[in-house]
Amino acid sequence: MKKTRLILSAAALIAGISLTSCVNNGAQSPETVTSPDSTAVAGSIVYFNIDTIMQGYDMANDLRSVVETKVSGIQAEIDRREKKLQKDFSEFQNKIDKGLLTRSVAEVQGQKLQEQQNAYQQYAMAKQQEIAEEQQVMLNQIMDAVAEYVKAFNEEHKYALILTTSGDILSAPVVTGDPSLDITDTILQGLNEAYVKTKAAAK
Q: How many whole angstroms separate alpha carbon 181 and alpha carbon 137? A: 31
Convert the pLDDT of each residue in 32-64 to its tens digit: 444 445 678 988 999 999 999 999 999 999 999
Q: Which residues pair with residue 161 across a beta bridge?
A: 20, 45
Convert the pLDDT of each residue in 118-156 to its tens digit: 999 999 999 999 999 999 999 999 999 999 999 999 999
Q: How crowded is residue 35: how many other Cβ atoms within 10 Å of its Cβ?
A: 17
Q: How many whole angstroms separate alpha carbon 14 and alpha carbon 101? A: 60
Residue type, 45: I
What mean pLDDT comes out for the span 191-197? 96
Mean pLDDT, the chain, whole residue set: 85
Give the helix/strand (H/E) hosting 164. strand 161-165
Pick the more confident residue, 97 or 37. 97
Residue 92, pLDDT > 80, answer yes
Q: Report helix, strand or coil for 122.
A: helix
What is residue 134's predicted lDDT score, i.e. its pLDDT?
95
Grade residue 169 by pLDDT with cuts at 50, 70 and 90: confident
What is the DSSP secondary structure assignment for residue 74, as one 8-state letter? Answer: H
Domain residue spans in the chain? 10-198
CA distances from 89 to 79, 94, 105, 125 (A): 15, 9, 15, 20
7 and 148 in contact (C-beta within 8 Å)? no
Q: What is the pTM of this model?
A: 0.75
What is residue 39's predicted lDDT score, i.e. its pLDDT?
75
What is residue 2's predicted lDDT score, i.e. its pLDDT?
44
Q: How many whole angstroms separate alpha carbon 198 and alpha carbon 196? A: 5
What is residue 203's predicted lDDT score, i.e. its pLDDT?
78
What is residue 38's predicted lDDT score, i.e. its pLDDT?
65
Q: How many whole angstroms separate alpha carbon 20 and alpha carbon 30? A: 17
What mean pLDDT comes out for the span 87-110? 96
What is residue 42's predicted lDDT score, i.e. its pLDDT?
87
Half-sphere exposure of residue 19: CA atoms within 13 angstroms, side-chain side: 31
CA distances from 181 to 9, 36, 132, 135, 158 (A): 24, 12, 36, 32, 13
The values of phi and psi at residue 95, to 5°, are -65, -40
